[in-house]
Amino acid sequence: MKKVKLKVPATVANLVCGFDILGMAVNEPCDEMEFRLLDRPELIIHHTDEYGLPEDPEKNVAGVVLLKMMEHLKTNQGFEVTIHKNIKPGSGLGSSAASAAGAAYGVNMLLGNPFSEEEMVRFAMFGEELASGVQHADNIAPCIYGGITLVKSSHPLDIIPLSTPDLFVTAVHPQVEVKTSDARQILKKNIRMKDAVQQWGNIAGLVAGILKNDFALIGRSLSDVIVEPVRSILIPKFDLIKARSLEAGALGGGISGSGPSVFMLSEKKQTANKIAEMMKWEYDEIGVDSFVYVSKINDRGIKTVN
């Protein structure tokens, strides 16, 4: 195989209560990535998007992943990678994870699939480290496996693919800046036992709801008493948008990853679309530009394109 073209999906990390351990792939937006095998050990990265990301492999999220893979393989081959990002960096929709996971997946395909899914996640985690300073896998895992995944542990890596409930996701990305590093910095270092008990009840309930396809249980488990109260102050109109989404019939939702995007899950497409319109309207009203996406949970993760 000399060339591979991929569609790499956005992901929603945390799924409200599962900070750093749960994540879900969505169908929209997606990055496009193209890989070409070179017969010399060189790495060339091009970006065709408008985000001005560095193309120097050592400073590029996809680049550092591929450098690690090349070092591991001790290969004489190289790669030319063209990346078109539609997932805006800093959106909270797993933009860096898409670059990192797409890189590992594309090169693995070019080389005839020498690595397992878990090994690809392991390489891709170096990209997340470059982007946010932390090797978290809660976006990378669903991007590669599809559906909803549980990262039971990052070190040692223990990934449990859960399932793909038949639900619609509405995600809004208000154009305000929230850096993952800042959104992590403001979190409390210690939590109360009372809050911890409530949180692990919600996480267990959410995982059970996902596996049992029990939408009501999913809905009442989408509650976060630890991270959301701290981070939501960085997102304009967060409480109002959440309340109005629930009124409109959403099962539940919250901050996507570290924000500023907000996501909601709904059983019906009509509800998901109604929520999308409301979200857009609320941000228009205060003069904040926003992008809104409605899609199903993505059951396959990264896809090849002809």
Residues labelled as active-site residues: 128, 180
Tokens matching residue 11: 């992901």
Q: Please identify, using beta-carbon distances, which residue of 14 and 86 lies nearer to ligand HSE.
A: 14
136 belongs to the binding site for ligand HSE (CB under 6 A)? yes
75: three-class secondary structure by DSSP: coil
Closest CB to ligand HSE belongs to which residue?
257
Does residue 138 bind ligand HSE (CB under 6 A)? Answer: yes
Does the protein bind ligand HSE through residue 95 (CB under 6 A)? Answer: no
Contacts of 282 (CB under 8 A, 6+ apart): 237, 240, 241, 244
Q: What would the x/- binding string for ligand HSE be over residues 216 to 255, using CB under 6 A?
A: ----------------------------------------
For 113, residues 6+ apart whose C-beta sits below 8 A from its C-beta are none
154, 170, 202, 258: residue in contact with ligand HSE (rule CB under 6 A): 258
In the 8-state DSSP scheme, what is residue 271? H
Nearest alpha carbon to residue 248 among 223, 226, 265: 265
Question: Please, which of residues 11-50 interact with ligand HSE by CB under 6 A?
Answer: 13-14, 19-20
Task: Give the nearest distance from C-beta 295 to ligand HSE in angstroms.
Answer: 19
Q: Which is nearer to ligand HSE, 43 or 297 (CB)?
A: 297
Q: Do β-strands 43-47 and 78-84 pair in parallel, antiparallel, or remain unpaired?
A: parallel
Q: Of these, 9, 257, 260, 301, which contacts ligand HSE (CB under 6 A)?
A: 257
Nearer to ligand HSE among residue 38 and residue 176 (C-beta): 176
Give the residue carrying structure tokens 């979200």: 279
- Positive or negative: CA dihedral 148, 174, 97, 33: positive
- Run of H or E including 7: strand 3-13
Is 189 strand, coil or helix?
coil
Residue 187 or 196 having the CB closest to ligand HSE: 187
| Rounded Cα gap, residues 204 and 60, in angstroms | 36
What minimum distance in Å lies between the beta carbon of 17 and ligand HSE? 12
Kindly state the number of chain residues that form the binding site for ligand HSE, as judged by CB under 6 A. 12
Residues 172-191 contacting ligand HSE, CB under 6 A: 180, 183-184
Alpha carbons 258 and 109: distance in angstroms, whole number = 31
The type of residue at 301 is G
**Strand order, beta sheet including 290-296:** 252-255, 262-266, 168-174, 290-296
CA Rg, the chain, in Å? 19
**Residue number with CB closer to ligand HSE (86 or 139):** 139
Q: Would you count residue 63 as binding ligand HSE (CB under 6 A)?
A: no
**Which residue lies nearer to ligand HSE by CB, 12 or 278?**
12
> Residue 11 CB, nearest distance to ligand HSE (Å)?
9
Q: Find the binding residues for ligand HSE in span 139-158 (CB under 6 A).
A: 139
Q: Give contact residues for ligand HSE (rule: CB under 6 A).
A: 13-14, 19-20, 136, 138-139, 180, 183-184, 257-258
